[in-house]
Structure 1
Amino acid sequence: MPPDSPMRDEPAPEPSRAGTERRLSVLFVGRVNAGRSLMAEALLRHHAGHRFDAHSAGLTPVDRMNPFVLDRLRAEGVATDDLSPKPLDIYMAPEAPPVDIVITVSELAATGMAGAWPGQPVTAHWALPDPDPSLDPGVAADPEAVVDAVFQDLRRRIDLLAILPSHCLLALSHWNEESDESLRSAG
């Protein structure tokens, strides 16, 4: 690590008895948890479920999953049995299990939840179009084409996330804690 880097140069965490790094918990947050966030959850489980516990939730979840998203995931052989829209409240409650990484997939989730995550998880925003034309009037008349584009984009992003070492991702959350503490003590 360069000497002027703001992150500490720490050794990697000790592997578990099974010889693998700790599984990280990832939460994908969307507006209604019917398309993008559920697709991301399913893809992360499918491609890297051995390293990550994937979850998704919505600010105002709807009753059912987008049928075009469901069809696309099934066509790709991605399991969909456990997928359903869920409220964000279950992940924000004090008794909720900790989340290591929060990724928002809608502008509303990104702006509405900025800085509200308990436990200082690593946060990111993946700006993706909403594939449901009834929820996003700006979406093209062909929701299947939007679902296909979002699927391809998410698959690339999930593949990149999956190759990052866990200790590097966790170091980002520790760096965030140290940065916040520095700002509080300076002010």
Structure 2
Amino acid sequence: MKQFNILFLCTHNSARSILGEALASTHPSGKFVGYSAGSTPGTSVNPIAREIAIEMGMDPAKLKSKSWDVFGMPDAPKMDFIITVCDNAAGEQCPFWPGSPATAHWGFPDPSKVEGTDIEKKTAFIEVMNGLQKRIDILAAMPLDKLDSISLKEIHHKV
């Protein structure tokens, strides 16, 4: 079975995009290889996002904040789908992506900005994870070899 590469983009690549990468990489369909990056990556992955990703079965060594420039390099993996998960990244000028991947914006509020108890903070991350999970499940059920940017964007409206 062909696997499809999905790059999740966010500004700091520390929370939402990390969750997207982990969900795609560990999706039960086995159809995806997840990646993540940011326009201005942070120095580390948010500890709550890291904990959730590891609970999903993600390799902790792969959980790093990195610049989206890495994926515009000639030796980078070719992406089939590129999905922005924060409104800031969606509005930024993205690098050229080799291979003309399908693109979409699946916006979610930044869970790392939630104030309150540890339970309230983790709940915000789980809400983002659940929203991403629904969209990735829909994506996995589609005829991926025929998918384009328009139908990828429609997933946002089906949830």
Q: TM-score, normalised by structure 2?
A: 0.80
CA drift at 1:78: 2.7
User: Unaligned regions of 5+ residues in structure 1, if any?
Assistant: 1-19, 134-138, 174-187
Q: Does 1:79 align with 2:52?
A: no
1:38-93 Cα shifts (integer Å, max 9, x gaps)? 11110111115732221110111112111111223344x43242211111111012
Indicate the residue corresponding to 1:150 in structure 2. 128
Pick from 37, 42, 48 the counterpart of residue 22 of structure 2: 42
Distance change (3 Å), C-alpha of 1:91 and 1:25: same
Q: Does 1:163 align with 2:141?
A: yes
What code does the residue aligned with 2:112 have?
D
Distance change (3 Å), C-alpha of 1:48 and 1:54: farther
1:95-127 Cα shifts (integer Å, max 9, x gaps)? 323211100011111111368433321001011
Which moved further from structure 2: 28-37 or 66-75?
A: 66-75
Alignment of 1:68-147 (within 5 A): 68-75=48-55, 77-81=56-60, 82-113=62-93, 116-133=96-113, 139-141=114-116, 142-147=120-125
What root-mean-square deviation, in Å, do the aligned CA atoms of Structure 1 and Structure 2 show? 2.2
CA drift at 1:153: 0.7
| Count of aligned pairs between the two proteins | 146
Distance change (3 Å), C-alpha of 1:74 and 1:94: closer
- Percent identity reads 35
User: Unaligned regions of 5+ residues in structure 2, if any?
Assistant: 150-159
Q: Contact (CA 8 Å) 1:33, 1:61: kept in 2 or not?
A: yes
CA drift at 1:151: 1.2
Distance in 1 separating the partners of 2:77 and 2:59: 23
Q: Contact (CA 8 Å) 1:43, 1:78: kept in 2 or not?
A: no
Q: Contact (CA 8 Å) 2:15, 2:46: kept in 1 or not?
A: yes
Q: TM-score, normalised by structure 1?
A: 0.69
Larger Rg: 1
In terms of fraction of residues, the more helix-rich structure is: 2
